[in-house]
Amino acid sequence: MHPFARYEKQILFKPLGQSGQKKLLKAQVGIVGVGALGTGMANLCARAGIGSLVLIDDDRVELTNLQRQTLFDESDIGAGKAQRAAEKLAGINSEIKIEAFNERLTDANFVDILSGCDLILDATDNFATRFLLNSQTLSSGQAWIYSGVTASSGQCMLINPFDTACLRCLIPEDTMVDDFPSVHNSGIIGPIVTIISSVAVSMALRYLVENHIERDVICFDAWDLRCHRIPMERTPGCPGCRA
Ligand SMILES: [Zn+2]
């Protein structure tokens, strides 16, 4: 069988093509958080033939996750999310490499786990880890995609250190996120998770295939069914990228 047989329809999409598929198969992508956004992103990345995936999550599957965490089913309750997701993904695409880390991302393990990644996808549910990703990637130079979902709305932003705005250009102080709505107090509906994980993987595919840097924040609401873009530039005096 042709080595690209499973990607036949994706290769027919002209902006991607066979040369794009080769780039995807050579790429390594890290996914930080293997919950709602992370399972959606990992599913799309594995099927698209991202050659190497690194999954990080220290959490276990719970019944209340099944409403929106699309790689898991009832038999997975109690299992470690990263490891179980890796097992499911291996059944979807056995030709890619998948590493699972059942631990929390910290400043101490960032380099060991993620230094080989061409792109890192934020699929966390907390700003502490996002600020960690922001500062670590400003040191490493790696591009990453911030994604967030709450209630029926969500947004994605590609961050290319010292080129695009960074997360600190938007949120200079830790305390600014204290009053942000969260899944814990505002809930969440499944469709916005699927939409935002798809937006992030679209940005990722185009970045890996064409080195395209999306400079707008892309926002969706899955209840009003509205979408909009917010142009973003580095903020002078940013405490992160020091624009
Ligand atoms: Zn900045």
pLDDT digits (tens, 9 = 90+) for 181-190: 888 889 999 9
Q: Rounded to the nearest whole angstrom, what is the distance from the C-alpha of residue 218 to the centroid of ligand 1?
A: 18
pLDDT tens across 151-170, in order? 999 999 999 999 999 999 99
User: Domain of 24: which CATH number?
Assistant: 3.40.50.720
What pLDDT is attached to residue 91?
97
Tell me the mean pLDDT in the region 206-228: 97
- When pLDDT is cut at 50, 70 and 90, the band that residue 178 belongs to is confident
Please check whether residue 119 lies inside any domain of the structure.
Answer: yes
* CA nearest to 139, candidates 170, 114, 121: 114
Q: Kindly list the distances between the CA atom of residue 184 and the CA atoms of 117, 181, 210, in Å, as whole numbers in the listed order.
A: 31, 8, 37
Q: Rounded to the nearest whole angstrom, what is the distance from the C-alpha of residue 78 to the centroid of ligand 1?
A: 39
Residue 2 has pLDDT above 80, yes or no: no
Strands 28-32 and 153-159 turn out to be unpaired
Please check whether residue 242 lies inside any domain of the structure.
Answer: no
Residues paired with 112 in a beta bridge? none
Sign of CA dihedral 71, 63, 101, 171: positive
Q: Whole domain around residue 61: which residue ranges?
A: 9-231
Q: Rounded to the nearest whole angstrom, what is the distance from the C-alpha of residue 9 to the centroid of ligand 1?
A: 39
Please check whether residue 13 lies inside any domain of the structure.
Answer: yes
Q: Rounded to the nearest whole angstrom, what is the distance from the C-alpha of residue 159 to the centroid of ligand 1?
A: 9
Please check whether residue 109 lies inside any domain of the structure.
Answer: yes
Residues paired with 53 in a beta bridge? 29, 98
Please check whether residue 1 lies inside any domain of the structure.
Answer: no
What pLDDT is attached to residue 1?
66
The model carries a pTM of: 0.97
Residue 137 has pLDDT above 70, yes or no: yes
What pLDDT is attached to residue 222?
98
Please check whether residue 126 lies inside any domain of the structure.
Answer: yes
Tell me the mean pLDDT in the region 3-25: 96
pLDDT averaged over every residue in the chain = 96
Please check whether residue 175 lies inside any domain of the structure.
Answer: yes
Q: Rounded to the nearest whole angstrom, what is the distance from the C-alpha of residue 164 to the centroid of ligand 1?
A: 8
Count of domains in the chain? 1
What pLDDT is attached to residue 3?
74
- When pLDDT is cut at 50, 70 and 90, the band that residue 179 belongs to is confident
Please check whether residue 236 lies inside any domain of the structure.
Answer: no
- When pLDDT is cut at 50, 70 and 90, the band that residue 68 belongs to is very high
Q: Rounded to the nearest whole angstrom, what is the distance from the C-alpha of residue 86 to the centroid of ligand 1?
A: 33
Q: Rounded to the nearest whole angstrom, what is the distance from the C-alpha of residue 105 to the centroid of ligand 1?
A: 21
